[in-house]
């Protein structure tokens, strides 16, 4: 089943496994891919905010 994943998904699984092996119990928001997603959402919201300010 693992080999059916695309390279990006396998990298995500590997990164998560490394964090779990190093730290043990980890909250979802502290996983590397979750942190990246949260940062990306924040940046998108900031860009929208800046665009809205410029439209006034």
Cα–Cα dist 20/13, whole Å? 11
Owner of token pair 């410029």: 54
Cα–Cα dist 29/43, whole Å? 16
Q: What is the DSSP annotation of 2-56?
A: GGGS-HHHHHHHHHHHHHHHHHSS--GGGSHHHHHHHHHHHHHHHHHHHHHHHT-
Task: Look at the chain and report how many structural domains it folds into.
Answer: 1
| Tens digit of pLDDT at every position of the chain (56 positions) | 888 999 999 999 999 999 999 999 999 999 999 999 999 999 999 999 988 888 76
Residue-number span of the structural domain to which 8 is assigned: 2-54
pTM of the shown model:
0.73
């Amino acid at each position: 089943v693992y080999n059916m994943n695309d390279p990006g998904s396998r990298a995500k699984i590997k990164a998560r496994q490394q964090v779990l092996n190093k730290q043990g119990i980890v909250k979802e928001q502290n996983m590397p891919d979750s942190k990246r997603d949260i940062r990306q959402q924040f940046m998108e919201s900031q860009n929208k905010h800046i665009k809205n300010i410029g439209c006034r």
